[in-house]
C-alpha cells in the first residue's frame, strides 16, 4: 500500500487544526518516522522535504507536520500568518501535538508500524518528552535543546513580561515581531515536572541518538553534551556545520546540503541498528 498525503489536516491541541504530510512507500519496511520541527519552524521549512525523500527511499514511512500553534494556518502553513495562535502556544501544546498526530496517522497503516521520532531544536525537546507516551522505539535528537527553563527571561525582563502579559520575539528571516503570551511561562510553571527534559531523559527506555553541529549558534553544543550525558549515549558532533546543518529557507537545490545528508545517513544507520 502506497500513501502520499500532502497538506492533510489533523486536529492538535485545544482542537486546533493543522497540516501534515505523510508518505508510505510501496515497499515499506513497516517503520514510521515522525519528524518534529523547531521553534519558528514548519514542516515545509528549508530542505525538510528532501529529508523526507531520503528516508522514504530507504523504505521508511515519514510524517512531518506543523505544530498546532506554530503560527501557520490550514490555508497557509508556511511562515506565520496567524500571530494570535503563535502567541497562545505552550510547550505542553507541542508535546500533546505529537501525541495527536501519532494517533491520527496510525490508521493509514495496515499494521501498526514501529515508530521513530526525530526532533530538531525545540522540537527535539518536545519529542523527548512525548517519546514514552507514544511508544517510540527510537528517538533521534538533531541540535536539540536540553532545557525549557533556560529559554525564559529572568529578573526584570520576566517581571515586565508578566506585567504586560505579552512579549515579542524577532524573526530575523521574515522580520516579524512575533508575540508570546505570558501563559507560555505559566504553563511551564504549572507543568514543570512533566516538562523537565533532564528527568525525562534519565528515565527514557527507547534507544536514542544525539547529533549536534559543531558551529551551532542557536542551541549551544553544551546542550547536546548534557543530553548525551543524561541519556548515557555518545554525542555525534558534525564538524563545520550550524544549527540547520547547512540548510536554509527557502532551499532551492534538488539535493541535501552535505552536512544534512551526512546527518540523515548517520540517523538511518542508527535506525537500522535499533
Q: What is the 3-state secondary structure (H, E, C) of 121-151?
A: CHHHHHHHHHHHHHCCCEEEEECCCCCCHHH
- pLDDT value at position 109? 96
- Residues 72-84: what's their mean pLDDT? 97
- pLDDT value at position 1? 66
- pLDDT value at position 203? 96
Mean pLDDT of the chain: 97
Express each pLDDT in 87-123 by its tens digit.
Answer: 999 999 999 999 999 999 999 999 999 999 999 999 9
Cα–Cα separations (whole angstroms), residue 10 to 30, 55, 63, 73, 200? 22, 22, 12, 12, 26
- Residues 255-264: what's their mean pLDDT? 98
Segments forming the whole domain that contains residue 146? 3-273
Express each pLDDT in 227-248 by its tens digit.
Answer: 999 999 999 999 999 999 999 9
- Residues 142-155: what's their mean pLDDT? 97
Q: Give the CATH number of the domain where residue 265 resides.
A: 3.40.50.1820
Q: In this model, does residue 61 exceed pLDDT 70?
A: yes
The residues that bridge with 117 in the sheet, in sequence order, are 34, 139
pTM summary value: 0.98
Query: What is the per-residue burial (b if ≥16 Cβ within 10 Å, else e) of 94-116?
Result: bbbbbebbbebbeebbeeebbbb
- Residues 118-138: what's their mean pLDDT? 98
- pLDDT value at position 16? 98
Count structural domains, the chain: 1
- pLDDT value at position 47? 98
Q: In this model, does residue 271 exceed pLDDT 70?
A: yes
Amino acid at each position: 500500500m502506497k500513501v502520499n498525503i500532502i497538506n492533510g489536516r489533523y486536529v492538535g491541541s485545544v482542537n486546533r487544526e493543522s497540516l501534515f504530510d505523510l508518505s508510505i512507500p510501496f515497499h515499506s519496511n513497516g517503520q514510521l518516522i515522525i519528524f518534529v520541527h523547531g521553534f519558528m519552524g514548519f514542516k515545509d521549512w528549508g530542505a525538510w522535504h528532501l529529508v523526507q525523500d531520503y528516508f522514504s527511499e530507504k523504505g521508511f514511512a515519514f510524517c512531518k507536520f506543523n505544530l498546532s500553534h506554530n503560527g501557520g494556518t490550514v490555508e497557509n502553513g508556511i511562515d506565520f500568518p496567524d500571530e494570535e495562535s503563535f502567541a497562545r502556544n505552550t510547550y505542553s501544546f507541542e508535546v500533546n501535538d505529537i501525541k495527536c498526530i501519532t494517533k491520527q496517522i496510525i490508521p493509514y497503516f495496515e499494521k501498526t508500524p514501529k515508530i521513530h521520532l526525530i526532533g530538531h531544536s525545540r522540537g527535539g525537546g518536545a519529542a523527548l518528552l512525548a517519546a514514552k507516551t507514544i511508544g517510540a522505539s527510537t528517538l533521534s535528537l538533531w541540535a536539540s535543546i536540553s532545557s525549557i527553563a533556560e529559554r525564559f527571561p529572568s529578573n526584570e525582563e520576566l517581571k515586565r513580561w508578566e506585567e504586560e502579559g505579552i512579549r515579542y520575539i524577532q524573526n530575523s528571516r521574515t522580520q516579524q515581531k512575533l508575540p508570546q503570551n505570558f501563559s507560555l511561562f505559566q504553563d511551564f510553571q504549572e507543568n514543570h515536572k512533566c516538562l523537565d527534559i533532564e528527568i525525562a531523559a534519565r528515565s527514557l527506555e527507547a534507544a536514542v541518538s544525539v547529533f549536534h553541529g559543531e558551529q551551532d549558534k542557536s542551541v549551544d553544543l553544551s546542550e547536546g553534551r548534557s543530553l548525551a550525558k543524561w541519556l548515557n549515549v555518545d554525542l555525534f558532533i558534525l564538524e563545520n556545520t550550524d544549527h540547520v546543518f547547512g540548510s536554509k529557507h527557502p532551499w532551492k537545490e534538488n539535493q541535501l546540503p552535505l552536512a544534512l545528508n551526512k546527518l540523515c545517513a548517520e540517523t538511518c544507520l542508527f535506525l537500522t541498528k535499533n
